[in-house]
Amino acid sequence: MTTQAPTSGRVRPAMNPDTQFFWDTAAEDRLAIQRCSACGLLRHPPGPACPSCHSLDWAASDVSGNGTLYSYTVVHHPPAPGFSSPAIVAVAQLGEGVRLISNITGVDPSTLTIGEPLEVYFLPQQEGWTAPQFRRPGSAGGAAHASTS
C-alpha cells in the first residue's frame, strides 16, 4: 500500500464521531472498519449502533484492504471535481466480507471484470484528508493520474 502525491479538488466527506476513525486511519495509510464490541460484526458504512445486536459499543478494526470487484459504474458526465474522467465508481468486497464504495484508478474501464482482485491505496488530498482508492494488485494504480485521480 503506497501513498500517491496529493491531489486537489474533491469535496471533503462528512466527518462525525462515527466516521472520524475511518478518515484518521486513512491518513495513516491504514484501512479500518467499525467492529461491534458485543457481537463482533464488521460494518460499513460506520454508524452509532450495530445493525445486528443494536449495541452502541464498537472499536476500529484494521483490515487488509485486499478484496475483489463486486460492482462498478463508469461516470462520464458530469465530470466530478478532483476525479479523472471517466471516473470508475466501484463496490469492493473486502476479504473480511465488508463492502466499500470507492473508485478504481489506473485502469481502462473496459478491461474490468467482476470478481477480479483489488487492493487499497491511499491518496492524500490537499484539502487535508486522505481518500482510500482501489487498484489492481501490484499496479501503480493511479501514479500516472495522481494529479487528477
Residue 27: C-alpha distances to residues 30, 78, 122 (Å): 7, 28, 8
- Parts of the chain with a pLDDT under 70: 1-8, 141-149
Q: What's the rounded Cα separation, in Å, for the pair 55 and 64?
A: 25
**pTM attached to this predicted model:** 0.85
Domains of the chain: 16-63 (no CATH), 65-137 (2.40.50.840)
What is the per-residue pLDDT across 21-61, written as a single tens digit (0 to 9) for each? Answer: 999 999 999 999 999 999 999 999 999 999 999 999 999 99
Q: In this predicted structure, what is the pLDDT of residue 9?
A: 74
